[in-house]
Structure 1
Amino acid sequence: MTSLFADIFAPASRQDWLRQVQKDLKDPNGYEGLRWQTPEGFVLEPYYTAEDVSPQTVSAIQAAQKQLPGWLNTPEITPSADIPAASQQAREALDKGADAILFTLPAFTPLSAASVSRLLQGIKLSDTPVYFRALTPAFLPALRQIAPYQLKGGLLIDPVAVYLQTGEIPAAATARALTEASLLTSDSPQFRTICASSHVFHNAGANATQELAFLLSSLADTCDLLTEAGLSIGQVFEKTVLSVSVGTSYFSGIARLRALRVLWQRFVSAYGMAAPPAFIHVQTSTFYDAAVTPYTNLLRATTEAMSAVMGGADLLTVHPYDTVYQAPDAFSERIARNVSVLLKEEAHLDKVADPSAGAYYIEQATDALVQSAWALFMATEQQGGLLAGVANGYIQEQLQASYDARVAELNEGKIMVGVNKFRYDEGALPAPPPPAFPNALIPDRRLAAAFEK
């Protein structure tokens, strides 16, 4: 087949394409107008050829990617004080397409073995992965009491992010609790107890380079805290989940996740170790969700989810379209869960690992993000690490500049559907909720909020 096409079509070089563009546009300088200056500061070309990518670089990128296709559909459940209702909600989700569950738990008082048992009624953690955003001194002992067998799932708690969000809980204290949790579940290799996340940076307005770089810096600080608390660096890496948000820039989202796997390998190798495969949890963005014309959030979540699974997510959490302005109802939760189901059952995206491999554009964008993120990571480390960079204002300055640039783009005509164009307000706008963490060191934002008036 290849030989036949080679005989029919002459090879086309980059210069051949350039001449054709100039001819079609009737402008010898028309090509420059087609180049895209990204928020990360590098230029993307309107087309790429094999001349634009190094075979060695592409091979290294592809070697770092997932080798097996598929992901776990992992809806998030935030229980109220009604633990039995949350348990029933989880079981129904598992019956209707979910593969795993993420519980974001408030501080139950007391968090006893009995309350954990009621929450997990009918769910066996040796069969069904369950992840928790909760960590109190009593939680893991209670979990082990009712589930003494090997567990699947883990804790999605980033000690650095907890500190940045609350401004109160020291990262070292959370790291000590995570160390105890890691030792308590040392017999469960599929129960991951350490998390490095980018959500706090994403929701402050970070661009892709900043999000990846600050994630690595957060992980570096976490490694220091955990090894000081008694874990070996090997134990840290074996138990780590990388948890990231994915935004509305479709191809950038794919490249960002592929770049993260390369960066993970480079980061671990800096400790003189062979890297275990990266394990990545991805959630759709709330930063890009809108409280006005809210059904447009369905469309955003769908493209974000496609980026996530094509980029190689291991776990995917699709937020309901109404998450940012009210407690999701059964309808919005079902639609969110079914986004992932549709991508599996109808789009068959769970049948191929790394489907964008070999696309010149994606490979080049992946490499560009690897290089820019690693450079910014190194610059952050020169500040003394992420926590030191927050203390001296370096991180906040970077994030504020990126956020301001995004708002300026919308003010200058860039379209956000349903927000600054094609808008339809269905009644009075909901009152914005009070900040969850009033003492946060890094702001939690939504891009649409500045236009929802």
Structure 2
Amino acid sequence: MKNTISFMSQELFSEFSQITKEAWLNQVTKDLKGKNFSETLIWQSLEGFDIYPYYAQEDLKNLPIKAIQQAQKSKNSASWENRSLIKYINAKDTNLLIINYLKKGIDAITIDFGNYDPTEHDLLRLLNNIKLSETPIYFKTHYKETLLTNLKKFIHYQLKGGFATDILTKYFSSESTIIDKDAWESTKKNVIQTNEYPAFRAVTVESHVFHNAGANAVQELAFTLSSAVTYLDKITDLGCTIEQIIPKIEFSISIGTNYFVEIAKLRALRYLWSKILKSYNCSLVTDNYFLHCQTSSFYDAKLSPYTNMLRATTEAMSATMGGCDSLTVLAYDSILALETKSELGERIAKNVSILMKEEAHLDKTNDPAAGSYYIESLTYKLATAAWDLFLKVENMGGILQAFDQGFIQSEIEQSYQAKVKSLQNDKIMVGVNKFRVEAENIDNIPKSVVSNKNILQNRRISEVYE
């Protein structure tokens, strides 16, 4: 029976001739009956390149496919952490919240301390019944050095997790922040102090500050990589080796609604990072690459917040298909100025990740996008454009100098305005510029305040219509 099926399959497929892209194009041109092919079917991306409706094997002929796919193998497992973000309230209530999340399927927690100094609070109470050697805890705080010193006083086993704070993000988004030598020295100490904890990462490089200001995928890639290179250069200048720093870095990337572009963005990031590491002669440590993804708040809508569920789901799928190691799904109503967390919103956010594992089985295959003619082509286009922009920033002296000269702000502002224009023209964003619910949640929405155009603003694209 098996041989018969094999024979039948061969006979069936032998009846079809191989279709070239040229033959497809000729047929489509004929079917369009005089309509212009480029104007009708080619999509111009916000990143500045053409997206065709059809890709074939011949589109991959001159691309470094082997190198791109090899870079994806730095991901050791097809699965990912289901990580929740919790804002610190007090030691007791935050602890109860963490315990509750862990019981309901969350694997890791990020605690955002805001302006609180965690060392002035009861860390023993906060971490009661939480074993950091089993549950990764990420601390979002600028008091990293003193926090680690205090943790070592009562934790005498291997820590998992890390510091979820990017000092460059605060510089790009705050009018008063200055990054002096002491800040870099403190970061260096974090790297050295955590060397004894291989699963605890001391440096986070974020793309959120660029993404939420309106950057496109190319800019997000280029500026994030330039930020990472700044960390490498500053910390090695202070005496650390590349081999000490690389395993301590976590990339934290925002994932937007453009499904295939976001998959390609993450694959391009791995490819470009491996390219950068080779320039530092440290390709042997590429396996230590750790990628955290977070669903975007930039595309959240206020008038019909339930539509944010759909956005978060596709964003989460892009993150997992693109190869994230850790995933944070924001609640659909997190944009609303609610005094307390919505139980429904948090439950759905948590379950998005669980469903993708337990029902969609997206955790079973490493780099599932590999071999897709479209995504492989898109990955290379994004990587090439991002690399050119990255080199431009480096030739200006690095991202800090480029930011001080206003280049980063200007580039992102142009991208943001292009996104606004696309919505004002023909692009549909459900619940924002079509199928609106006018009276819903109108009093619960915080507005962005643009006070200084010299810094990067935390924006939402839908605010244009709100």
**TM > 0.5 fold call:** yes
Give the conservation status (yes or no) of the 8 Å contact 2:337–2:444.
Answer: no
- The one-character-per-residue Cα deviations of 1:145-198 (angstroms, maximum 9, x if unpaired) are 222211111112212112112233333443322222222221111101111111
Q: What aligned pairs does 1:12-411 form with structure 2 within 5 A after superposition?
A: 12-27=19-34, 29-30=36-37, 32-54=39-61, 57-65=64-72, 66-80=75-89, 82-109=90-117, 111-112=119-120, 115-136=122-143, 137-172=145-180, 173-274=182-283, 275-277=285-287, 278-327=289-338, 328-411=341-424
1:22/1:31 contact within 8 Å kept: no
Is 2:462 aligned against 1:448?
A: yes
Per the TM alignment, residue 230 of structure 1 is displaced from its structure 2 partner at its CA by 3.4
Q: Which amino acid aligns with 1:23?
A: K
SS in 2 for 1:174: helix
Offset of 1:326 from its aligned partner?
Answer: 2.3
Amino acid at match of 1:253: E
Structure 1's unaligned 5+ residue stretches are none
Contact 1:162–1:171 (Cα < 8 Å) also in 2: no
Runs of 4+ in 1 over 4 A off after TM superposition: 1-6, 434-440
For residues 340 and 171 of structure 1, the distance between their equivalents in structure 2, rounded to whole angstroms, comes to 36
Q: How big is the shift at 1:391?
A: 0.7
The structure-2 alpha-carbon separation of the partners of 1:110 and 1:195, relative to structure 1 and needing over 3 Å to count, comes to: closer
- For residues 143 and 110 of structure 1, the distance between their equivalents in structure 2, rounded to whole angstroms, comes to 10
Residue 84 of structure 1 deviates from its aligned partner by 1.1
Q: 2: distance between equivalents of 1:188 and 1:268?
A: 22
Say if 2:110 and 2:140, in contact at 8 Å, map to a contact too.
Answer: yes
The 2-side partners of 1:329 and 1:170 are apart by 36
Q: In structure 2, do the counterparts of structure 1 residues 366 and 145 end up closer, same or farther at CA, with 3 Å as the change threshold? A: same
Within 2, Cα distance between the matches of 1:153 and 1:438? 35
Once the two structures are superposed, residues 77-98 of structure 1 have per-residue CA deviations (whole angstroms, 9 ceiling, x without a partner) of: 0112x22111111111111111
Shift of residue 46, structure 1, vs aligned partner: 0.7
Once the two structures are superposed, what CA deviation does each residue of 1:290-310 show, in whole Å capped at 9, x if it has no partner? 121111111100000000000
2: CA distance between counterparts of 1:292 and 1:432? 9
| Partner secondary structure for residue 254 of structure 2 | strand
- SS in structure 1 of the partner of residue 231 of structure 2: helix
Superposition deviation, residue 23 in structure 1: 2.6
Alpha-carbon distance between aligned partners in 2 of 1:67 and 1:140, rounded to the nearest angstrom: 28
Contact 1:291 1:430 survives alignment (8 Å): no
- Asked if the contact 2:337–2:445 (Cα under 8 Å) also holds between the matched residues in 1, the reply is no
Identify if the C-alpha distance between structure 1 residues 423 and 435 changes in structure 2 by more than 3 Å, giving closer, same or farther.
closer
- What's the % identity of the aligned pairs? 43
Structure 1 residues 175 and 4: alpha-carbon distance in aligned structure 2, compared to 1, 3 A threshold: farther
**Following TM superposition, by how much is the alpha carbon of 1:16 offset from its aligned partner in structure 2, in angstroms?**
1.3
When residues 56 and 414 of structure 1 are mapped into structure 2, their CA distance, relative to the original with a 3 A threshold, is: closer
Shift in Å, 1:323: 1.4
User: Gaps spanning 5+ residues in structure 2: where?
Assistant: 1-5
* Range 125-134 or range 54-63, more displaced: 54-63
Write the distance in 2 (CA, Å) between the matches of 1:5 and 1:124: 58
How far the C-alpha of 1:225 sits from its partner, in A, is 2.1
More displaced, 436-445 or 60-69? 436-445
**Equivalents in 2 of 1:60, 1:218: separation in Å?**
23
| Deviation of 1:56 (Å) | 6.0
Q: Which amino acid aligns with 2:151?
A: L
CA-CA distance at 1:17 after TM superposition: 0.7
Structure 1 pair 22–427 and aligned structure 2 pair: CA distance change class (3 A): closer
Contact residue 450 and residue 457 of structure 2 kept, 8 A: no
1:298-351, Cα deviation, whole Å (9 max, x unpaired)? 110000000000000000000111112224322211111111111111111111
AA in 2 matched with 1:447: I
Separation of aligned partners in 2, 1:143 and 1:441: 34
- Cα separation, 2, equivalents of 1:88 and 1:70: 27
For 2:315, the aligned partner's letter is: E
Please identify, of 276-285 and 59-68, the stretch whose mean Cα deviation from structure 2 is larger. Answer: 59-68
Does the 8 Å contact 2:303/2:440 carry over to 1? no
In the superposition, relative to structure 1, how do residues 385 and 11 fare at CA in structure 2: closer, same or farther (>3 Å)?
A: same
Secondary structure of the structure 2 residue equivalent to 1:64? helix
C-alpha separation in 2, matches of 1:54 and 1:174? 47
Alpha-carbon RMSD: 2.0
